[in-house]
A and B are shown apart, each in its own frame.
Chain A
C-alpha cells in the first residue's frame, strides 16, 4: 500500500550546521503534510506544515520544501542547536483532516558538539 517514509534512520550533524531531513511519500492524493519533532519520552510536537498548493514554507529556523513531481518532502533546520536533537517524523493527510495522519518511520537527528 501507499506509505510515507524517510530516507535515513539517523542523521548526525555538527552544532551550528544546517540539517536537512528528507521524506518520500507515494500517495499522490495527499494534500497536507506536517513535520513533527519528538523528544525522548514526549509526544510528537508540531513543527511546521505545508499544503500541496505550496512548494515552500518557512518558520523560525525551519523550512519545509515540497516537490510534488517526485513526491518528496524535506525539512531544513538552520544553525542546528543541541535542543534540536530528537526524532523527526513527516506525516501526510489526504484532504479534510478528520481521517488522521499517516506517519513515516522517523529520522533520529543527532547534534555533535
Chain B
C-alpha cells in the first residue's frame, strides 16, 4: 500500500516492555489512525488524529498512547506491554472523499 509506511513489520516483546510503532504517510493527509486486528474480528480503532496537533481515543485506547509528531508521522506507544496486546496493528490515513489508505501492518507478539 503505497503512501503509508509502518515500522517495524514484526516485533516480539516481553510482558512489561515498552515500544513505539512508527507510521508515516507521504500523501499530505490530515487524518491518521491506528487500528488493531485480532483473529475473527474486524479492525478496531485505537486512536486517531484528525489533524496535526490533535489526538482522540477510539474504541480500544487502554494501554496505548499516541503522538502526532507532524503532519506525516503518527506513532503508537505501548508503555508496558501485555499479552492481550498481541495483535496486528495497522496505521491508516485518509483523504476525505478519496478513501482510507492502510499500511502493511505490524505483527506484535507479547510473551
Chain A contact residues, CB within 8 Å of chain B: 4, 34, 41-46, 49, 89, 91, 96-106
Check A44–B50 contact: CB distance below 8 A: no
Check B44–A97 contact: CB distance below 8 A: no
Chain B contact residues, CB within 8 Å of chain A: 1, 4, 30-31, 33, 35, 40-45, 48, 50-51, 56, 58, 90, 94, 96, 99-105
Question: A-B contact count, CB below 8 Å?
Answer: 57
A5 to chain B, nearest CB (A): 9
Check A44–B43 contact: CB distance below 8 A: yes
Check B48–A89 contact: CB distance below 8 A: no
In the assembled complex, the Cα of A99 lies from the Cα of B41 at a distance in Å of 20
13 contacts between A and B (CB under 8 A): A43-B1, A43-B104, A44-B43, A49-B99, A96-B96, A97-B94, A97-B96, A98-B48, A98-B51, A102-B45, A103-B44, A105-B40, A105-B41
Check B44–A46 contact: CB distance below 8 A: no
Given A97-B31, A98-B48, A100-B48, A46:B42 Cβ within 8 A: no
Q: A44-B43, A49-B99, A105-B40 are in contact. List 10 more A-B contacts (CB 8 A).
A: A4-B42, A34-B99, A41-B105, A43-B4, A43-B102, A43-B105, A89-B43, A97-B96, A98-B50, A101-B100
